[in-house]
Amino acid sequence: MALLEGKVAIVTGGGRGIGRAHALALAAEGATVVVNDLGEAEFGGEGQSNSGPADEVAQAIVAAGGRAVADTTDISDWDGAGAVVRAALESFGRLDIVVNNAAISRFGPIDVISRLDWERTIAVNLTGTAALSHWAAAHWRETGPEPGRRIVNTSSAVGLIPWPGNPMYTASKAGVAALTISCALDLAELGVRVNALAPAARTRVSATVAPDLMKPVEEGFDRMAPENVAAVATYLASPLCPYTGRVFGILGDDLTVFDGWTVSRHLNNAERRWTPQDLQAALADVPLQQEVTAQAIPGVEAAASPPKEVLEALAALEKA
Ligand SMILES: NC(=O)c1ccc[n+]([C@@H]2O[C@H](COP(=O)([O-])OP(=O)(O)OC[C@H]3O[C@@H](n4cnc5c(N)ncnc54)[C@H](O)[C@@H]3O)[C@@H](O)[C@H]2O)c1
């Protein structure tokens, strides 16, 4: 029997890129899919929207013998996300899997971005994920505990080990990782496992960020194919996955298990409030860089955070 036979899934941003691959992969494993996509013309979320991408994917699933409907709701709208859950229930009578994949990406350091950039990025990437999780979980709470429910969120390696240049995206994806863990704790009693992906694949987003990765593959394994990410999403959505509250990185065949914030040191001040001078002395042997113990992003060397160039630039300025 197919892995997801009888399951009903919602995939947000399912009309393009990684979400499209998710929708097709879940359907290939027997799931019925609500393909949600606003059809944003630009990945920065500034273009016109249209129903083309969601329609195309839903039609492809139906043409292959599966069941799917297209949905063009903007998932950043809290009540709109509720309408997507209702669409699944009205069309197919149940809901088992939510794949929160839709996101936008805008760039620029914190002093350059606008309030609108900030609000829209957080609205789509973080509020959209929270809103759909809210409505799905509210439905599941109403119907009572049942095994086999899944939420698959989409974080990013840069949300866990931040890079410069896109603070809104980075913060939104760090929020998604934290939301994943928190929801996993709350929803276990309803039979819901909640995990997140930190994907990388060839899409219109990576075309802008890393054009080198967009080079077509002439032969052999296509590392940048979105289908590589969809395979891991399928696992996380399936009964084969025993995890909850975890984040998995995937690029090609490189799988990364992120462990989130960990505590490296505990210092106690013998029942005295810390003074700045106490802290300076006590922290003297705490390294200025946090070590990243494994290669977090394939192709990018494991590095300490913040990188030594950042510390050197500050030190040079302070000496001048
Ligand atoms: N491509 C990568 O290498 C990469 C790396 C890290 C994380 N990610 C994450 O993977 C996910 C998919 O990224 P992608 O590269 O396939 O992007 P994409 O832009 O190709 O696809 C995203 C889809 O989401 C839709 N969308 C945007 N806003 C929406 C909204 N408010 N409501 C409904 N749909 C909406 C868009 O119309 C688009 O079709 C995102 O969460 C992204 O942040 C991607």
Q: pLDDT tens digit string along 152-170?
A: 999 999 998 888 889 999 9
How confident is the model at residue 264, as a pLDDT? 87
CA–CA dist 236, 152 (Å, integer): 7
> What is the pLDDT averaged over residues 172-194?
97
CA of 103 to the centre of ligand 1 (A): 4
238 is catalytic: no
Q: What is the mean pLDDT of residues 237-249?
A: 97
Instruction: Check pLDDT > 90 for residue 77.
Output: yes
What's the confidence (pLDDT) of residue 305? 79
* 143 three-state secondary structure: helix
- Could you report the per-residue pLDDT of 2-14, keeping only the tens digit for each? 999 999 999 999 9
d(CA 156, ligand 1 centre) in Å: 11
DSSP 40-84: -SSTTS-S---SHHHHHHHHHHHHTT--EEEE---TTSHHHHHHH
Any catalytic annotation for residue 173?
Answer: yes
Model pLDDT, residue 283 = 97
pTM of the entire predicted model: 0.94
- Catalytic option among 7, 105, 133, 169: 169
Question: Considering only CA atoms, which residue is closest to atom 23 of ligand 1?
Answer: 13
Looking from the CA of residue 49, the nearest atom of ligand 1 is 37
Where do the DSSP E strands lie in the chain?
A: 8-12, 32-36, 68-71, 97-99, 149-154, 192-200, 247-251, 254-258
Confidence (pLDDT) at 304: 75
Q: How far apart are the first and last CA of the chain?
A: 69
- Answer yes or no: is pLDDT of 320 > 70: yes
Please tell me what DSSP assigns to residue 151.
E
215 labelled catalytic: no
Task: Tell me the two tokens of residue 41.
Answer: 């013309």
Lookup: tokens for 50: 């249209």
| Candidate from 81-90, 151-160, 249-258, 311-320 with smallest mean pLDDT | 311-320
DSSP reduced 3-state for 92: helix
Q: Which strands, in side-by-side order, build the sheet including 149-154?
A: 68-71, 32-36, 8-12, 97-99, 149-154, 192-200, 247-251, 254-258
Find the angle CA(14)-CA(226)-CA(197) to the nearest 5 degrees. 75
Q: How many CB atoms lie within 10 A of CB 1?
A: 7
Largest CA distance in the chain: 70
Instruction: Provide the 10 A C-beta neighbour count for residue 306.
Output: 15
Please identify which of the residues 76, 156, 172, 238 carries the catalytic annotation.
156
| Token pair recorded at residue 270 | 């013998």
Task: Answer with the residue of higher pLDDT: 262 or 128.
Answer: 128
Q: Do 249 and 258 touch, CB atoms closer than 8 A?
A: yes
Spatial CA neighbour of 263 closest among 236, 290, 245: 290
pLDDT surpassing 80 at residue 180: yes
pLDDT of residue 216: 64
Reported confidence tier of residue 260, pLDDT bands at 50, 70, 90: confident
What amino acid is encoded at 309 in this protein?
A: E
Per-residue pLDDT at 234 exceeds 70: yes
Mutate to test the pocket of ligand 1, among 40, 49, 104, 197 (most ligand atoms within 8 A of CB): 40
Percent of the chain as helix, strand, coil, to the nearest 5: 45, 15, 45
What is the rounded average pLDDT of the residues 188-205? 94
Peptide bond into 306 cis (omega under 30): yes
Other C-beta atoms closer than 10 Å to the C-beta of 216 total: 7
DSSP, collapsed to helix, strand or coil, labels residue 183 as helix
3-state class (DSSP) for residue 308: helix
pLDDT of residue 300: 65
Mean model confidence pLDDT for the chain: 92
Residues with CB under 6 A from ligand 1: 12-13, 15-19, 36-40, 43, 45, 53, 74-76, 101-104, 124, 128, 154, 156, 199-201, 203-206
Q: What domains sit in the chain, N to C, each tagged with a CATH number?
A: 8-258 (3.40.50.720), 276-319 (no CATH)
